[in-house]
Structure 1
């Protein structure tokens, strides 16, 4: 993706008691990232792993360190702040797994529960029966569900649709 449109407008200062949810864009892959408020390169990566042939599976990588060389292959091409979300949706201690990096599939907070409910039932089953074919489609579906759950505003979904369409230009 050569040109990324401007992201949703965020307040100039961090609202109290909130966590920033960002979109990481890699070559051919999108993921949600929730950094630790005290260490922005360490956080939780939520994404769909797999491919269109084998299907997709929801994955959570806890205490994921964006600065480690093994997590830079390939590095994200964009880190886009999407929205500040009220702390009631998160459990930082459990999300960061006490600082131990681990891959997980079990949600530990309200935000992860909403994300984990979206069209991920297992390998070989794809996203759903509506023809979704990629992790990008899954990220958008998650955003729609987060809007329905009153976690995200509509502007996030609109932005994700815009950048998804820009990939095809």
Structure 2
């Protein structure tokens, strides 16, 4: 009889663990969606620092919840835009690069994130880095970036380098 009980426990335990994992995944995805909404609200108010933190947290939760690559890429892209508006260029570069990598992983277009990274380098006067990113993108695709010129630009907050 005890062998049968042990066998049942061995069969039931993995099912319980799978169910708990699924609940955890759904919680992470719901949290990511809420954080994305908080980030949108902060961005609409021009609070780029708070928007950056919320988008970054949403991206982290989307990754933990195994959200699709397109959503994760979009969250990182938006975190990069917000970081740029907050004059946090190191964070912006990180998030744009993450967005590019996730878009490639999911076989989606990464052109907007490439354009944002190039624009950021150009705003900072880093022509060499901007050219390197254009070269990384490749010839024909690099020429197509102009099509995105009116679609999206980096946010303009307070001038960087000035006290609040």
Same fold (TM over 0.5): no
TM superposition score normalised by structure 2: 0.29
Larger helix fraction of residues: 2
Which is bigger in relative contact order (C-alpha 8 A, separation at least 6)? 1
TM superposition score normalised by structure 1: 0.28
Larger strand fraction of residues: 1
Structure 1 or 2, whichever has the larger Rg, is 2
